[in-house]
Homo-oligomer: A and B are copies of this chain.
Amino acid sequence: MIRRLPQSRDRGIPEATVARLPLYLRALTGMAERGVATVSSEDLALAAGVNSAKLRKDLSHLGSYGTRGVGYDVEYLIYQISRELGLTQDWAVAIVGIGNLGRALANYGGFVSRGFRVAALFDANPEVVGDHIAGLNVEHIDELEAVIERRGVSIVVIATPAAAAQQICDRVIAVGVTSILNFAPTVLSVPEGVDVRKVDLSIELQILAFHEQRKGDRESGGPVMAEGLQQGASA
């Protein structure tokens, strides 16, 4: 291997790695709070629930921040991962659909903890509009575009019924939003350059049911299946 400076500009981090970085970050933050100064790949991997070789390979994509024979400096690694994930800047998030779920999300403290700030709440229901939740006023959905632009919102969380999701999606994309987190159980179609991630309770349960059923099958003499698998990264 040729040792070169351009290594740091090789910014092609695999998607599977990106999905695990927040996990490492969380484990590291816990360690920092407990006063741990350095950590080995073995220990960090254990805390994050992954294989240590995988962890080392993941971190190697960010650069060479470890010290052989010692491990990684916790604070420094927190900084490097945070920077890579873009958490050293402040992200304004809007939540659309302030029903059961939207309310829970708006009240969720874990949001703010890492660079994310809930900057706007929207709903179509006149009875909900004007409510005060977590120090924010719920705006009418008609104000969507204006408020998003005024407050510099760059990430939108959709928590409306499925029927409204695509329309909300189209509208926020039209004003330049390119990152969407969708809780509605529907497939959003978006132009290239827009990232959609989805959280779908129903799908998770169905996947669990699939494996659960298969465990039961075992008793009736079916083939013994692989088990104990935790879900991995999303690509």
Contact = CB atoms under 8 A, between A and B. Distances in A.
Interface majority SS (helix, strand, loop, mixed), chain A = mixed
Copies assembled:
2
A61 interface: no
A209 to B, nearest CB: 4
A205 B116 CA distance: 8
A231 B179 contact: no
A34 interface: no
A84 interface: yes
Contact of A210 (B27, B85, B104, B187): B85
Interface string A214-235: 1100000011111111111111
Interface string A175-219: 000111100011101111111111111111111111111110000
Contacts of A199: 199, 201, 204
A187 to B, nearest CB: 4
Given A3-B226, A91-B205, A233-B234, 15 more contacts: A6-B224, A12-B225, A23-B187, A26-B202, A89-B213, A104-B104, A111-B201, A114-B206, A155-B205, A191-B228, A192-B227, A195-B208, A197-B207, A199-B199, A199-B204
Interface of A: 3-6, 9-12, 15, 18-19, 21-23, 25-27, 47-49, 84-87, 89, 91, 93, 100-101, 103-105, 107-108, 110-111, 113-116, 154-155, 178-181, 185-187, 189-215, 222-235
